[in-house]
C-alpha cells in the first residue's frame, strides 16, 4: 500500500513521459472504417432538408443554396447525380424548374430511421448519453454549438432540440453562459441535476462485470491497447506506458483539476475523459477538431492534443476524407464496430444504397 501511494504521488507531481516522438503508423482497417462513411453525413443532411419541405422536395436552385451549410464536396447537381439511388430529379410540370426528391428506397429508409429514433429505449439511451456528455470532468453545462458539432457522432436526431430535449425536462434545461472561447454570451444546455447513476464510465462498467467487485472501479484500471501489426514503441516509451497504466484510474466524471496539469496522473485522467467521450458516440469516432473544441470548453485543449499523440494504442488518427478523424481502437475489429448501435445499423443501410450499382 505504501509503495502504491508513493507511486501515485510520484506520477502526480512530476512529468515522466520521455521526450520521444511517438510515430504515426497507418492502420488500413480503421482508415476503411472512416472511408466507407464518405459523404454519408452530407447525404442524410440533404435528405433531412428535403423531408422538412412541405412538398418533400426542393428545387435544384434551393438545394444548391444549401451546399455551404451542408459541406457538400461538389456542386449539388453533381452530388444528386452521383447518388441516384438516394435522390431523384423531376419536373413537377412543364416550365417549372427541376426539383429533387428522395427515391422510394431512400424514403423507406428514412421512415425506418425515424422509427429507430422514436423507439422509447433509443430515446432514453440518447438522453442518458447526452446527460453523460454534460457530466464529464464534473461539469453540467455545455454551449449548444459544441453539441451541434458532436450530434452526428452522438447519433442524435437532427431536430433533437425540439423532439428530444422537450421530453426530458427533468434532465435538461437551456440557459445562457459565457462562452469560454469567445467570452460572449451563448446558449448552453444545462443538466438540471447531477445523476450519480450515470457517472460510471464504460471502462468501469466493463471492469466490474469482469471482476464482480463493486469497489474495482476505484482501483487501477488499465486502458485496452491495440497497436497495429508491425507497430513497435520505442523501448523507453513502452516502459513509460507500462508504468503509466498502473496508475490509479480516476473517473472521467470526477473533477480532478487539482492534479498538477503536467503530471502523468493528470494525463491518465485526461485520457479517461477522451476514452469516455468517444465511448458515448454511436460511431466511436469523430473529427479531431470536434474533440479539441470540446476540450477547450473544459480548459483541457492542450492536454487533449498531447494525449491523442502519446497513446496510439488507444486512439487512432485517420487522415482520410479531407480531415483528421480520431477513432477509439478497441471499438473496432478490423473495419467493423464491435457493438453496433441501432442508429449505426440504419446508417449502414444508407451506405448500401449509396454504393448500389
DSSP string over 58-114:
EEHHHHHHTHHHHT-SS-HHHHHHHTTTTEEEE-SSTTSPPEEEE-HHHHHHHHHHH
pLDDT recorded at residue 70: 92
Nearest one of 67, 121, 133, 105 to 273, comparing CA atoms: 133
In this predicted structure, the answer to whether residue 352 has a pLDDT above a threshold of 70 is yes
Span 191-222, pLDDT tens digits: 999 999 999 999 999 988 877 555 544 567 99
Q: How far apart are CA 327 and CA 315, in angstroms?
A: 6
pLDDT at 2 over 70: no
Q: Where are the domains of the chain?
A: 2-35+216-354, 40-112
Per-residue pLDDT, 1: 41
Q: CATH number of the domain at 40-112, out of 1.10.10.10, 1.10.287.3510, 3.40.50.2300, 3.40.50.300?
A: 1.10.10.10
Q: What span, in angstroms and rounded, lies between the C-alpha atoms of 110 and 104?
A: 10
Residue 323 pLDDT more than 50? yes
Residue-level pLDDT at 20: 62
Considering only CA atoms, give the Rg of the chain. Answer: 22
CA-based angle 34:40:45, to the nearest 5? 140
- Compute the distance between CA of residue 218 and CA of residue 216 in angstroms, rounded to an integer: 5
The set of cell numbers assigned to 233 is 514503441
Chain segment 133-159, per-residue pLDDT in tens: 999 999 999 999 999 999 999 999 999
Strands 336-337 and 332-333: antiparallel
pLDDT at 299: 93
**Structure confidence at residue 239 (pLDDT):** 87
pLDDT tens digits, one per residue of 252-292: 999 999 999 999 999 999 999 999 999 999 999 999 999 99
Res 37 pLDDT > 60: yes
What would the mean pLDDT of 312-321 be, rounded to a whole number? 95
217: nearest Cα among 200, 236, 234: 200
In the predicted structure, residue 351 carries a pLDDT above the cut 70: yes
Print burial letters for 302-335: b (CB count within 10 Å at least 16), e (below 16). Answer: ebbeebbebbbbbbbebebbeebbbbbbbbbeee
Separation of first and last alpha carbons in the chain: 64
Q: Which residue has the higher pLDDT, 156 or 22?
A: 156
pLDDT tens profile 82-136:
999 999 999 888 888 899 999 999 999 999 999 999 999 999 999 999 999 999 9
Question: What value does the mean pLDDT of the chain take?
Answer: 90
Is residue 74 within 8 Å of 61, Cβ to Cβ? Answer: no
Q: Which residue has the higher pLDDT, 351 or 14?
A: 351
pLDDT of 121 reads 97
Amino acid at each position: 500500500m505504501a509503495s502504491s501511494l508513493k507511486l501515485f504521488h510520484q506520477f502526480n507531481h512530476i512529468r515522466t513521459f520521455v521526450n520521444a516522438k511517438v510515430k504515426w503508423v497507418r492502420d488500413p482497417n480503421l482508415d476503411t472504417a472512416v472511408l466507407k462513411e464518405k459523404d454519408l453525413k452530407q447525404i442524410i443532411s440533404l435528405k433531412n432538408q428535403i423531408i422538412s419541405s412541405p412538398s418533400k422536395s426542393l428545387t435544384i436552385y434551393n438545394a444548391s443554396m444549401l451546399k455551404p451549410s451542408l459541406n457538400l464536396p461538389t456542386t449539388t447537381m453533381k452530388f444528386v447525380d452521383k447518388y441516384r439511388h438516394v435522390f431523384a430529379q423531376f419536373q413537377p410540370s412543364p416550365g417549372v424548374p427541376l426539383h429533387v426528391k428522395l427515391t422510394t428506397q431512400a424514403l423507406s429508409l428514412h421512415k425506418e430511421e425515424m422509427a429507430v429514433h422514436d423507439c422509447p429505449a433509443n430515446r432514453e439511451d440518447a438522453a442518458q448519453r447526452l446527460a453523460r456528455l454534460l457530466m464529464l470532468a464534473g461539469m453540467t453545462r455545455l454551449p449548444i454549438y459544441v453539441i451541434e458539432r458532436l450530434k452526428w457522432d452522438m447519433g442524435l436526431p437532427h431536430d433533437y432540440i425540439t423532439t428530444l430535449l422537450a421530453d426530458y425536462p427533468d434532465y435538461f434545461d437551456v440557459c445562457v453562459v459565457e462562452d469560454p472561447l469567445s467570452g460572449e454570451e451563448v446558449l448552453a444546455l444545462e443538466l438540471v441535476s447531477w445523476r450519480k447513476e450515470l457517472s460510471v464510465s464504460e471502462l468501469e462498467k466493463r471492469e466490474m462485470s469482469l471482476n464482480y467487485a463493486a469497489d474495482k472501479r476505484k482501483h487501477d484500471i488499465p486502458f485496452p491497447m491495440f497497436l497495429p501489426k508491425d507497430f513497435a514503441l520505442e523501448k523507453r516509451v513502452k516502459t513509460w506506458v507500462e508504468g503509466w497504466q498502473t496508475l490509479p484510474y480516476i473517473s472521467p466524471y470526477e473533477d480532478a483539476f487539482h492534479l498538477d496539469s503536467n503530471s502523468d496522473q493528470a494525463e491518465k485522467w485526461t485520457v479517461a475523459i477522451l476514452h469516455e467521450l468517444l465511448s458515448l458516440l454511436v460511431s466511436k469516432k469523430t473529427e479531431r477538431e470536434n474533440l479539441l473544441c470540446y476540450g477547450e470548453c473544459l480548459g483541457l485543449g492542450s492536454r487533449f492534443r498531447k494525449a491523442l499523440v502519446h497513446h496510439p494504442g488507444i486512439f487512432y488518427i485517420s487522415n482520410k476524407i479531407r480531415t483528421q478523424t480520431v477513432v477509439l481502437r478497441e471499438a473496432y475489429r478490423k473495419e467493423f464496430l464491435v457493438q453496433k448501435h441501432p442508429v449505426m445499423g440504419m446508417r449502414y443501410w444508407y451506405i448500401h444504397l449509396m454504393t448500389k450499382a
